Structure 1
């Protein structure tokens, strides 16, 4: 892999990577800065997409079309859907589903995208394996699972919403950072991808407060894991 694209949605998720990069070029496209350079011995393009599926999809497609990346890594944070996960645990993407797609009125299941041949977008198995291998850099107390990540343009902050998502989709975590859109864009363009999400909250009634308190701490785990992954590529 000659050039790796890395997308984070928020400043907390990209700042440590940017600070450690040897930057060779910065381009502004569609209100987003794309930072080209090297990190951990690997040529990368780093961008902060902003929250939401549209922002993430635009960012991913720009990286593919203009920078000609060979692989894409999405890093960020999420809320726990599985009762097995706690704050600062880590989920490596096995696959993504968009939980807020609803065309039930037309005979589709929830989460099923009309006129698509799949609605479950799987991460690259080789990148998953390397990400799992890289997880040895994390504290032994940090639980790391490879599982299903749910993406949508909403922040899950009610117990009943969390339970519904867990029962219907069997998801491990839910995020608003656009990971599911990145997964779909990579699927359509045949670009290998993987995502890592560190848990900031339990997607319950205190999710908003927990998110604000633990985002920076959780992002540290995602960053550590990504830096280690780059050395293995």
Structure 2
């Protein structure tokens, strides 16, 4: 079974309705499924994301995981609405450099997590391949990007608060993991953010459904 996982209901509600999914859990974890696919809404943040994905992987038979949703950008070559296929996933606030690890690397874990792109890349039009960094900080200013993100020894283009937790959990459970994001805004580039987030996420939800139709 494929698992579609994301942070917010607004991002996935159109898809949940289209695929006629039944809600099977709603107490601590919000999970929907039919015979072929499962959707999970984790809420925001690294701990929520890791715990809920781990819960699903221990209880249900999942073959592959797709994280899809919206994401802010810190790359001025991007614009609102761009579709991003994530290559590498980093943690933008882990700092064990005193022990010889790279900035962003959790001790005794990989420096980053590389996603599975082969099954997705040829099915989505106008996709761009970029790296993402995650943290429990809502990074929304150039100063924050300089303080946290630019310490990573790689080019980071988009930011969120969940993807690294999904990626590390998928790695520990040895599950195939892919990430698709739609750029909601670009930090420091006001002319790239024409639609306010509360309106944009409704548009993004419809775009997410169109993407899922192509890859599921």
TM-score w.r.t. length of structure 1: 0.82
Distance 1:25 1:153, change over 3 A: closer
Provide structure 2 residue ranges, at least 5 long, that are not aligned to the other structure.
Answer: none
Match of 2:44, SS state, is: coil
Whether contact under 8 Å (1:75, 1:223) holds in the other structure is no
Aligned equivalent of 2:111, options 116, 119, 142: 119
Q: Give the direction of change, closer, same or farther, for the CA distance of 1:205–1:100 in structure 2 (3 Å limit).
A: farther
The separation in 2 between residues aligned to 1:159 and 1:7, in whole angstroms, is 29
Q: How does 1:24-39 map to 2 (within 5 A)?
A: 26-28=24-26, 31-38=28-35
- Cα distance, 1:15 vs. partner? 0.4
Q: After the TM superposition, which of the residue ranges 55-64 and 71-80 deviates more from structure 2?
A: 55-64
User: Does residue 49 of structure 1 match 2:42?
Assistant: yes
Q: Is there any run of 5+ residues in structure 1 with no aligned partner, and where?
A: 137-142
Q: Does 1:100 align with 2:93?
A: yes
What is the CA deviation profile of residues 131-187 of structure 1, one whole-angstrom value per residue up to 9, with x for unaligned ones?
Answer: 222213xxxxxx5211211111111111132355257441120112x1111011111
Matched residue, 1:215: 201
* Partners of 2:20 and 2:205 in 1: CA distance: 21
**1:227 matched residue in structure 2:** 213
8 Å Cα contact 2:66/2:178 also seen in 1: yes
What is aligned with 1:183? 167
CA–CA distance in 2 between the matches of 1:166 and 1:77? Answer: 21
Count of residues paired in the alignment: 211
The CA deviation at 1:33 is 1.9
Question: What is the SS of the residue equivalent to 2:201?
Answer: helix
Q: Could you tell me which residue of structure 2 aligns to residue 195 of structure 1?
A: 179
> Residues 37 and 144 (structure 1 numbering): CA distance in 2 closer, same or farther, change over 3 Å?
same
- CA contact under 8 A between 2:21 and 2:33: conserved in structure 1? yes
Kept in 1, the 8 Å contact 2:15–2:208? The answer is no
Contact 1:112–1:119 (CA under 8 A) maintained in structure 2: yes
- Greater helix share, structure number: 1
Distance 1:75 1:68, change over 3 A: same
